[in-house]
Amino acid sequence: MTETHTDGNPLLGTWRLKSYIMTTAAGERLTPYGEHPNGYLSYSADGRMQVIGTANGRIVPRDPAPTDEEIVTLHKTMFAYAGTYSVEAGRVIHHVDISWNQAWNGTDQERFYEVNGDTLTITARAIDADSGTQARYAVVWEKVARRR
């Protein structure tokens, strides 16, 4: 049964990215966005979600207008998408409207989640863009305290 987007929704709110770990089919553990990635994930009561993440230690373009090479490097060190979402016990589906990866637009991205206190762990299986093989992703988020 699908939960409402308000009462009882454990995902509701804003979360700060703590870690992003990819495990390859061969069992290799990788941190494609570094040991201390940056990012936010938000789930709103109106059923919308958005996420953006970047690697730590990203390049800083030498000039205000990045070169083509700098643009490629910056693109490879970030992810972002937004859309609506559906929540079920232990599972969330992101219905992607817009994405850094045009191929995701109009798709449903299934994720599994676990909330422990102020920590949200989201896992998924997907094809690694670099190797073309199946990989498991574990992304850990920490609840952002509400400002008063």
pLDDT exceeds cutoff 90 at 17: yes
Q: What is the pLDDT of residue 45?
A: 95
| Domain contains 75 | yes
Q: What is the pLDDT of residue 128?
A: 73
Question: Of 115, 135, 117, 113, nearest to 125 (Cα)?
Answer: 135
Number of domains within the chain:
1
Q: Which domain holds residue 18?
A: 13-143
| Domain contains 3 | no
CA distance readout (Å), 95 to 76, 83, 116, 137: 23, 5, 25, 18
CA distance readout (Å), 125 to 1, 36, 110, 144: 23, 22, 9, 26
| Domain contains 5 | no
Q: Per residue in 55-106, pLDDT tens?
A: 999 999 999 999 999 999 999 999 999 999 999 989 999 999 999 999 999 9
48-54 vs 38-43, strand pairing mode: antiparallel
pLDDT exceeds cutoff 90 at 143: yes
| Domain contains 148 | no
| Domain contains 71 | yes
Q: What is the pLDDT of residue 148?
A: 64
Give the pTM: 0.88
| Domain contains 25 | yes
| Domain contains 102 | yes
Give the domain CATH number at 125: 2.40.128.280
Q: Per residue in 28-49, pLDDT tens?
A: 999 999 999 999 999 999 999 9
